[in-house]
Amino acid sequence: MFKTFFVVLLLGFAGSAMALPFASRYALVVEEGSGKVLLAKNADVTVPIASLTKLMTAMVVLDAAQDMDEAITIEDPSVLTSRRSRTRLTDGGVLPRRTVMELALMSSDNHAAVSLAYAYPGGIDAFLAAVAAKVGDLGMTHTTIGEPTGLSEANRSTAEDLARMAVAAASYPEIVRITTSSGQTVDVQGRNVEYHNTNHLVGQTGWDILLSKTGFTKPAGRCLIMRLSAGGQTVIVVLLNAITSPLRMLDALNVRRFLSGEEPLLARAESPRRVHRAAHHLPVTIERAHLRPSRVAVSAN
């Protein structure tokens, strides 16, 4: 399935029409059924991928068929990545592997992601060997993943390769379930802690999101992978290196409008302070406050 899909994908680049003013520096939209490239921008450039890495982490863990109800220890990712990361989990505490995976994928908790890798049969070295094998099996020839969180700038890929990864991830019901959940409450050592999906479009009216993962580090910018149904089509969407969350969400909205035959929307120029403040209200105000219809097709190259 994957080989046929991406032969069509690669051949389709020459004829793909560009009709969106992408804010993301790298982007790809592929029709799932045919593999036809609908939209592309710098899709073959290798760049940091941040927490999109966690889809690969989840696939490798699930491939190992471990007991998802087994309690595993929460670990600090800074030991492996040399980068600190905020969390509401307690290092040294224990949670069921299933809950840890839910927090790694849905709320993108880096302590959760690294804990899955340390608890892998054979430990972190065996986990990374399995990741390398999975990358090879999926034909992700321009991808390097050296740790399970995405905190490292060395985790790099292309929009093309990430589309391959998204197609593969969509075949795992557990990954689909978790990444399309808007939130959940977790008992963390006697405390009820509420977690939310980092993709605020999940669960929003008018959005049929079938797979989702966000990512952010300063080198990677704002990133998003989705499997999306709109306008009678199911597509894989890869958006990489948007400057802000509102611009990333604008790209996602414009992809949906493109699939539905609507005009794209353009962001009005605003001061950095206003853009920052608007980010907290994007799902509600994006069309009203920050966007206007485009009257011309704009090249995304």
Coil, strand, or helix at residue 60?
A: helix
Among 51, 107, 157, 181, which one carries the catalytic annotation?
A: 51
Query: How many residues are given for the chain?
Result: 301
What is each CA distance from 87 to 71, 171, 193, 208, 252, in whole angstroms? 18, 29, 11, 29, 27
Residue 51 annotated among the catalytic residues of the structure: yes
| Distance (Å, whole) CA 56 – CA 214 | 13
- Decide if 220 contacts 240 (C-beta within 8 A): yes
Token pair, residue 255, equals: 């992809």
Amino acid identity of residue 239, one-letter, is L
Among 24, 107, 108, 181, which one carries the catalytic annotation?
A: 108
The pairing of strands 191-196 and 208-217 is unpaired
Among 41, 54, 134, 213, which one carries the catalytic annotation?
A: 54
| Distance (Å, whole) CA 30 – CA 36 | 6
Task: Give the Cβ contact number of residue 7 at 10 Å.
Answer: 11
Q: What is the dihedral of CA 127, 118, 152, 275, to 10 degrees?
A: 120
Residue 157 annotated among the catalytic residues of the structure: no
Residue 245 annotated among the catalytic residues of the structure: no
Question: Which residues are identified as catalytic?
Answer: 51, 54, 108
